[in-house]
Amino acid sequence: MKDLDDLLAEGVDGRTVLVRADLNVPLDGSTITDDGRIRASLPTLQALTGAGAKVVVTAHLGRPKGEPEAKYSLAPVTARLGELLDAPVTMAQDLVGPSAADAVAAAGSGSVVLLENVRFDPRETSKDDTERAALAQDLVDLVSGGDQPPAFVSDGFGVVHRKQASVYDVAAKLPHYGGTLVAAETEVLRRLTGTPERPYVVILGGSKVSDKLGVITALLPQVDALLIGGGMAYTFLAAQGHPVGNSLLQADQIETTKALLDQYGDKIVLPSDVVVADAFAADADSQVVDAGGIPDGWMGLDIGPNTQEAFSRVVAQARTIFWNGPLGVFEMPAFAAGTRAVAEAIAASDAFSVVGGGDSAAAVRTLGVDEAAFGHISTGGGASLEFLEGADLPGLAVLEA
């Protein structure tokens, strides 16, 4: 894979560079609640503008249904990106239409133009190769026409597992390079899939076993311990024959989890106690109970204090750590203690630690744990998991072609 250094060595002064960034940040109305992904995009954008490139950025926000929706506009992202770059960022009011064409034509060397949400165009996520290729060609045409040929930099690691027009098809049409973020993410994950220093401990949380089944199956033969929390833990507890009350349960995954426990029971560590509530609400009544005896009508929303201590002890012994998924409903203070305890234990460890993006990265920032204490905080939850599963990631494969 050619990287940003290769492109800079070729020279970009006066050249138009199309960058696929991952700017999919959480919003509360129009307020960005976590700008981590915007910050992660800065090194590539600063390197390109500093070298004199005209940078045109394409990105998505949320899950619009292939047409413009005001709540998914990139306008708030444009404002924050300009603040962080300490430079004006021009936002086009469309993706490949007149506003985009005018903005790109008017931009000079060292400037940044952000196109409107690429998922407002249904061709971006189309399963039809011809439709995706047509949008890719529109993007290529948008950045073409200067004295020098355009280039494409893929820097949205959070979308490299998607075969989408702005990720895959554009790269097939332009000279392509991996950005700083994509290079850093792949280097870290290859370290985990190579010969990680042991003990190698993985902590998985989140809602559903089905979402993590691929990575669980791939990692169990490789790791020394797999700690399981979050909503997915209750399917494992049910597989052991324990009552789980109204806790999140995937009944169709019980036989699968039974098989995993039978084969890898010496590696899988489940909660010994949990914090249960009588409703899914921040002000619900709650209590700590044994994980094997959740009362009827109650639901598990966090790991309990004994489990926090047990998980922290395992983490303290580790030399390599991968964490993906909160251990409880950390957005509600009453059920955030488990996620906080594990995050702080990882931060206190001198192991090589990777936070696997998504809600885990958001939890680190929301709970105020020092980001610098982790070896790497990924921007791509799904992409990280698929990489560790050994899946083919189209957005990386096309860069290596």
Catalytic residue, candidates 208, 258, 319, 365: 208
2 is in an annotated binding site: no
22 is in an annotated binding site: yes
132 is in an annotated binding site: no
Q: Residue 298 in contact with residue 329, Cβ under 8 Å?
A: no
Catalytic residue, candidates 358, 380, 381, 395: 358
The answer to whether 358 is a known catalytic residue is yes
23 is in an annotated binding site: yes
24 is in an annotated binding site: yes
Q: Residue 23 in contact with residue 118, Cβ under 8 Å?
A: no
C-alpha distances in Å from residue 355, one per residue of 203, 324, 347, 379, 387: 10, 6, 10, 9, 14
357 is in an annotated binding site: yes
Dihedral pair phi/psi, residue 172, rounded to 5°: -75, -15
Six-digit token pair at 185? 């993410």
The answer to whether 208 is a known catalytic residue is yes
Catalytic residue, candidates 52, 82, 375, 382: 382
63 is in an annotated binding site: yes
241 is in an annotated binding site: no
162 is in an annotated binding site: yes
Euclidean distance between CA atoms 165 and 182, whole angstroms: 18
349 is in an annotated binding site: no
60 is in an annotated binding site: yes
Catalytic residue, candidates 15, 20, 37, 54: 37
Residues in the chain: 401
Euclidean distance between CA atoms 65 and 69, whole angstroms: 8
Euclidean distance between CA atoms 29 and 258, whole angstroms: 42
The answer to whether 297 is a known catalytic residue is no
The answer to whether 382 is a known catalytic residue is yes
381 is in an annotated binding site: no
Query: What is the strand order of the sheet 299-303 is part of?
Result: 286-290, 273-277, 299-303
Radius of gyration of the chain (CA): 22
Euclidean distance between CA atoms 312 and 329, whole angstroms: 18
331 is in an annotated binding site: yes
**Annotated binding site, which residues?**
22-24, 37, 60-63, 119, 162, 212, 300, 331, 357-360
Residues with active-site annotation: 37, 208, 358, 382
Write out the binding residues for substrate: 22-24, 37, 60-63, 119, 162
Q: Annotated binding site for ATP: which residue ranges?
A: 212, 300, 331, 357-360
Task: Please give the annotated binding residues for (2R)-3-phosphoglycerate, written as ranges.
Answer: 37, 119, 162
